[in-house]
């Protein structure tokens, strides 16, 4: 079996660490593995004895695949440099997602887009990934006209400092907020990313634009409200869809039970439905509370939960890399 040289850029962040963990778990066929940081002054060694390289112009010589999660401003500079050196970049930041020349890929949904890369492939936003994995089979069956989504997003989506802030405030509610504008422990914040002129946040706009691009259908109407909740790991979403033809609860369950990467957890008689605590450290996206919307003719409600650090970020990027190898587009 051929092996590949791989670089993780942003290794010191939560997603970078998750990428390293998943590469090992899935026995990814790497030969050399470079761990690269953009925030250190000189090369260093981590607690496990792994060498961490300070990013430089020669970092990507001989590297086949670059898994990037260093922040959009950093990717903007270094992803093109890596691509020019012959490295295929799979970028987890928001920098290239809406670039018309960059594929935006969820392997269970639109793997065919991978072949269109020009050196960079974008990983979608975490909240978008888990939603489209579930909606794709429903869209194929009945064509979705409109999506109304409210997200309940864990603090790990805002990084390790946000996790620490929640933990400290949970022990001491007077601990002052720094990562968030208000206390997050015992609270919820209807505010993720910066507010836009239309009063939506950037996170909410991402969900609309990315969903339309991934599903290749700009006619789908999407409106989102994104909320930060005091959960460490896994995002939850309440999703209401309106379709061109009716999908019964039974048909939805049948379609979703066969969907790749999806697990249906739906037995309200036993209080079984997806929970963030159960989705943590799992690869799959979980869906439940499936029910027909009685307020419109062709509506459906769903509750979707997934680990934002795994499927919402690191795992999806590595699945793209695996698909690149399998399809011969590397």
pLDDT at 38 over 90: no
* Whole-number Cα distances in Å, 136 to 82, 101, 144, 217, 309: 32, 23, 9, 11, 21
In the chain, % of residues over pLDDT 70: 100
User: Is 126 in the active site?
Assistant: yes
Specify the residue for token string 């419109």.
296
Q: Name the catalytic one among 117, 126, 139, 226.
A: 126
- Residues 56-114: tens digit of each pLDDT: 999 999 999 999 999 999 999 999 999 999 999 999 999 999 999 999 999 999 999 99
The strands making up 30-37's β-sheet, listed across from edge to edge, are 44-45, 51-54, 30-37, 4-9, 65-68, 88-91, 120-122
Here the tokens at position 66 are 């670059």
* Whole-number Cα distances in Å, 82 to 90, 105, 173, 220, 261: 11, 19, 44, 35, 30
pLDDT at 44 over 90: no
Domains, the chain: 4-124+313-327 (3.40.50.720), 127-307 (3.30.360.10)
Torsion, CA 165, CA 166, CA 169, CA 171, rounded to 10: -120
Torsion, CA 187, CA 189, CA 193, CA 199, rounded to 10: -170
How high is the mean pLDDT of the chain?
A: 96
Report yes or no: 239 and 148 within 8 Å, Cβ to Cβ: yes
pLDDT at 329 over 80: no
In the chain, % of residues over pLDDT 90: 93
* Three-state DSSP string of the chain: CCCEEEEEECCCCHHHHHHHHHHHHCCCCEEEEEEEECCCCCCEECCCCCEEEECCCCCCCCCCEEEECCCHHHHHHHHHHHHHCCCEEEECCCCCCCCCCCCECCCCCCHHHHHHCCCEEECCCHHHHHHHHHHHHHHHHHCEEEEEEEEEECHHHHCHHHHHHHHHHHHCCCCCCCCCCCCCCCCCECCCCCECCCCCEHHHHHHHHHHHHHCCCCCCEEEEEEEECCCCCCEEEEEEEEECCCCCHHHHHHHHHCCCCEEECCEHHHCECCCHHHHCCCCCEEEEEEEECCCCCCEEEEEEEECCCHHHHHHHHHHHHHHHHHHCCC
Confidence of residue 55 (pLDDT cuts 50, 70, 90): very high
pLDDT at 201 over 80: yes
pLDDT at 13 over 80: yes
Task: Provide mean pLDDT across the span 46-63.
Answer: 91
Whole-number pLDDT of residue 52:
94
Whole-number pLDDT of residue 39:
84
Task: Provide mean pLDDT across the span 27-37.
Answer: 96
Q: Name the catalytic one among 64, 117, 139, 235.
A: 235
User: Is 235 in the active site?
Assistant: yes
């Amino acid at each position: 079996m051929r092996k590949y040289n791989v670089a993780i850029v942003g290794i010191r962040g939560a997603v970078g660490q998750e990428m390293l963990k998943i590469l090992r778990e899935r026995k990814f066929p790497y030969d050399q593995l470079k761990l690269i940081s953009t925030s250190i002054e000189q090369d260093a060694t981590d607690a496990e004895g792994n060498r961490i390289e300070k990013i430089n112009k020669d970092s990507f010589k001989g590297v086949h695949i670059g898994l990037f999660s260093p922040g959009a401003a950093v990717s903007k500079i270094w992803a093109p440099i890596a691509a020019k050196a012959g490295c295929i970049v799979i970028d987890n930041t928001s920098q290239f997602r809406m670039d018309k020349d960059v594929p935006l890929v969820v392997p269970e949904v639109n793997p065919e887009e991978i072949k269109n890369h020009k050196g960079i492939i974008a990983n979608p936003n975490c909240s978008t990934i888990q939603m489209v994995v579930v909606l794709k089979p429903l869209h194929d069956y009945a064509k979705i006209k409109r999506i109304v989504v409210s997200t309940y997003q864990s603090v790990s989506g805002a990084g390790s400092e946000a996790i620490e802030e929640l933990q400290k405030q949970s022990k001491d509610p007077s601990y002052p907020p720094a990562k968030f504008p208000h206390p997050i422990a015992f609270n919820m914040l209807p505010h993720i990313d910066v507010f836009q002129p239309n009063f939506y946040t950037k996170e909410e706009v991402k969900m609309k634009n990315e969903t339309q691009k991934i599903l290749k259908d700009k006619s789908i109407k999407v409106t989102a409200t994104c909320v930060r909740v005091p959960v460490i790991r896994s995002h939850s979403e309440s999703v209401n869809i309106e379709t061109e033809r009716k999908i019964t609860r039974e048909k939805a369950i049948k379609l979703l039970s066969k969907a790749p990467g999806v697990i249906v957890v739906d037995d309200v008689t036993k209080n079984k439905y997806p929970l963030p605590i159960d989705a943590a450290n799992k690869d799959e996206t979980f869906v439940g509370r499936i029910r027909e919307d009685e307020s419109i003719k062709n509506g459906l409600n769903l509750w979707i939960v997934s680990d934002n650090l795994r499927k919402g970020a690191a795992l999806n990027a590595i699945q793209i890399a695996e698909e690149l190898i399998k399809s011969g587009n590397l």
